[in-house]
Structure 1
Amino acid sequence: MQFGVSTFLTDQGIGPAELGRALEERGFDSLLIAEHSHIPVSRTSPWPGGGDLPTHYYRTLDPFVALAAAASVTERLLLGTGIALIPQRDPFHTAKETASLDLVSGGRAILGVGVGWNREEMRHHGADPRTRGRLTDERLHAIRALWTREEASYHGEFVDFDPVYSWPKPVQRPHPPIYVGGGPGAFPRVREFGDAWLANSTPPEQLGPQIAQMRETAGRDVPVSVYAIPEDAATVEAYTQLDVERVLFYLPTVPKAETLHHLDAFADVAARFR
C-alpha cells in the first residue's frame, strides 16, 4: 500500500514547494489538494462535515498553480487534484492545465474529479446543481477527447464544439489517470471514467462493502485510494486488510513548523506498514 497526503493549500499555511519537498524527503508517493474558486457570502448549502465551514475553504490556492510549484522541486511525487470541481471548470482550460502539469512534472499528474457540494458556488459558474452530474460527465468526455485526439470535437447536451486543436498533449498515455471522487452515487462515473476511485474519508468498516459494490458497478478491478484519513495506526491497519492501493493522510492547513511535525507523525505511522 502506498502513502500520500491530502490537504487544502492556502495563503496561510506551508507553501506548495516546501510541502512537496518535505513529502518526497519522507517517502510519501503523492499529494492531492482540494479546490474552491470562492465561497459565497450568502450560502444555504450545508457543509458535509457539519457545523461552520472551516477557514481554509475560503482561501484555497489554485490547484494547478500550486501543484506546478511542487512539481518544480520534486522528482517522484505524484501531483493531483482532490478534487477538481468539474461542474465549475471550463473543459478546455481544465484539459490544458492538467496536460501542462503532466508535461512540466514529467508525467506525474492525476486529475481527481467530483461534482461538489456548494450549490451557490456552482451557480456562480453557471452550473445548475440539479444537472451537475450530467454536466460533469460531458465535460470529462470532452477533456479526454482534447487529451487524446489530434482534432477533438464533442457534441452533447451541455458541451458542444466542432473539431479543435489543443496542445500540449499529456506525457502519460493515453492520458493522466482520472480519480473519481464520491460515494455510491458516483460509481457509474467510476465505471465510465475511473482509473481509480477516490473514497472520501470512508471508515474501513464501511469501505469493504463499498469497494465490492463499486467494482460490481464498474465491471472491473478499479484501484482505490482513500482520501483524508487520520494518523492512526489502528485505522491504517484496518485499511491494509482491504484491497486499497493508497491512503492519503489528512494534513491540517497550518504553518511550516506545525506541518513538518504532522508529516513526521504520518511518516512514523506509514513506516510500520512498509
Structure 2
Amino acid sequence: MRIGFSVPQFGPFADPDRTAALCTALEALGCHSLWVADRLLAPLTPAEGYPGGKEMPVRYATHLDPLLALGLAATATERVRLGSSTLNALWQPPLVLARALTTLDLISHGRLDVGIGLGWMREEYTAAGVPWQGRGARLEETLDVLDAVWRSERVVHTGPLWTIPESTVLPKPVQTPRPPVLLGGFTPYALERVGRRAEGWLAASMPLPYLQGLWAVAVEAAERAGRDAAALRRVFRVNPEITAAPADPAETHHRGTVRQLCDHLRLMCSAETDEVLVDLQLTTDSPQEYLDRAAEFMAELAESWDERDRLVCTERAV
C-alpha cells in the first residue's frame, strides 16, 4: 500500500507559501505522493447539489490553480509522486494542457501522475465555455491529443473537435512513453475507459461490494483490449469525517475514528500498487493540526507496510 495526501490548496490553505511549506513537511513524514484537486467556482445558487446529497464545502470557493499548485509542490519536494485527483481536463484545449503537463513532468524530474476526471458541476462547464453534453467523447479525443503530443516525434491530429497540423512539439516529458494517466469516474462507462486507456483508476473509499463490481468492469475492459489488468493502479481518495467515538461500521468508508477509517482503507488495498489519498483540508484550519492528523494516518496505515518501509518512514519523520 502507498500513502498520499492532498496538496493544501483550499480555504485557509490557499496561500502559496503555506502550501509549499506543508508539502515539504508532508514529504518529511514519509508519504509516497501528494495530490491536487480542481475547482473553478462555487455558485451561490447551484442548480444541483454536491455529490452525496450534501452542500459543497464553503472553503472550496477559495482555491489555488491545480497545475500551479503542483508546480509549487514540485519545487518544495524531492521524492514524492505528484498527481491530480482529479483535474477537470476538458476546460482547456488538449494541446495547451499537454504543454502544461509536460512542463510539470520536467519541473518534477519525472514525478508526475496525470489524474483526469469529467467533474460534476454544470456551472463550471458553462463558465468555461465548454458544452456539458458530449463530455465522454471530448475526453476520448483529449486523450488522443495527449498521446499524440507525448508519444510522437511529429505530432499530427485530426478529430471532430481539434486539428493539429503536422508539427514538432518539444520538449517531451521525462517519463516515457508518457506520464501515467489515471482516470476518475464511478460509472460502467468510466471504468471501461480506465481498463481500455489508462494506467489506473482515481477511485474513492467505498463499500467493498460496490468497489468489486466497478473494478470488474475495468479488468474485463483491459483484458478485451489486450492489456495487463494486473498492472492497473488504484488510488482510493477519502475525505474523512473524523470522529472521537467509533462510528457505525457501515459508514467507516468515510466517517469514523482514524483507526476505523484506516481499517477500511486497508481492506480496499488488495494489491501492492494500491494507494490511499487522504484529503484533510476539511478537517482543520490549522497547518500544525493538518500535519498532526497526517502523522496519525501515517502511523495507522503503516501497519500494512513491510518492516523496511516502516524504518524509512520513521527515519524521515525524525
TM-score (norm 1): 0.92
Q: Which residue matches 2:4?
A: 4
User: How far is 1:37 from its partner?
Assistant: 2.3
CA-to-partner distance for each residue in 1:192-224, whole Å, 9 max, x for gaps? 321111113333342123222221122231221
Alignment of 1:46-85 (within 5 A): 46-85=49-88
Give distance in 1, aligned partners of 2:198 and 2:87: 14
Give distance in 2, aligned partners of 1:96 and 1:211: 31
User: 3-state SS of the aligned residue for 1:72?
Assistant: helix
User: 3-state SS of the aligned residue for 2:195?
Assistant: helix
Q: Decide whether the 8 Å contact of 2:193 with 2:218 is kept in 1.
A: no
Give distance in 2, aligned partners of 1:41 and 1:5: 29
Q: Decide whether the 8 Å contact of 1:181 with 1:200 is kept in 2.
A: no
User: 3-state SS of the aligned residue for 1:44?
Assistant: coil
Q: Which residue matches 1:269?
A: 300
Out of 209, 214, 223, the position equivalent to 2:233 is: 223
Distance 1:49 1:167, change over 3 A: farther
Structure with more contact order per residue of length (Cα contacts < 8 Å, sep ≥ 6): 1
Q: Decide whether the 8 Å contact of 1:20 with 1:77 is kept in 2.
A: no
Q: Where in structure 1 are there 5+ consecutive unaligned residues? A: none
Q: Does 1:194 align with 2:198?
A: yes
Give distance in 1, aligned partners of 2:68 and 2:173: 17
Give distance in 1, aligned partners of 2:148 and 2:216: 30
Q: Does 1:207 align with 2:211?
A: yes
Q: Which shifted more, 111-120 or 251-260?
A: 251-260
User: 3-state SS of the aligned residue for 1:39?
Assistant: coil
Q: Which residue matches 2:268?
A: 239
Alignment of 1:253-264 (within 5 A): 253=282, 254-264=285-295
CA-to-partner distance for each residue in 1:164-207, whole Å, 9 max, x for gaps? 33233100001110011111330232133211111133333421
One-letter amino acid of the structure 2 residue matched with residue 46 of structure 1: G
Give distance in 2, aligned partners of 1:81 and 1:270: 22
How many residue pairs get matched? Answer: 274
Q: Decide whether the 8 Å contact of 1:7 with 1:251 is kept in 2.
A: no
Give distance in 1, aligned partners of 2:265 and 2:179: 27
User: How far is 1:118 from its partner?
Assistant: 0.6
Distance 1:164 1:41, change over 3 A: farther
Q: Where in structure 2 are there 5+ consecutive unaligned residues? A: 241-257, 306-318
User: How far is 1:227 from its partner?
Assistant: 1.7
User: 3-state SS of the aligned residue for 1:153?
Assistant: strand
Distance 1:242 1:146, change over 3 A: closer
TM-score (norm 2): 0.80
Give distance in 2, aligned partners of 1:241 and 1:192: 21
Distance 1:40 1:272, change over 3 A: same
Distance 1:129 1:68, change over 3 A: same
Q: Which residue matches 2:152?
A: 149
User: 3-state SS of the aligned residue for 1:176?
Assistant: coil
Q: Decide whether the 8 Å contact of 1:8 with 1:60 is kept in 2.
A: no
Q: Which residue matches 2:250?
A: none
User: How far is 1:243 from its partner?
Assistant: 7.2
Give distance in 2, aligned partners of 1:8 and 1:55: 15
Distance 1:186 1:240, change over 3 A: closer
User: How far is 1:30 from its partner?
Assistant: 0.6
Q: Decide whether the 8 Å contact of 2:266 with 2:301 is kept in 1.
A: no
Q: Which shifted more, 141-150 or 239-248?
A: 239-248
Query: Which structure has the greater CA radius of gyration?
Result: 2
Structure 1 ranges of 4+ moved more than 6 A: none
User: How far is 1:103 from its partner?
Assistant: 0.4
Give distance in 2, aligned partners of 1:205 and 1:8: 31
Give distance in 1, aligned partners of 2:299 and 2:290: 14
CA-to-partner distance for each residue in 1:6-42, whole Å, 9 max, x for gaps? 3561251173312221221111101111112223445
Distance 1:236 1:40, change over 3 A: closer
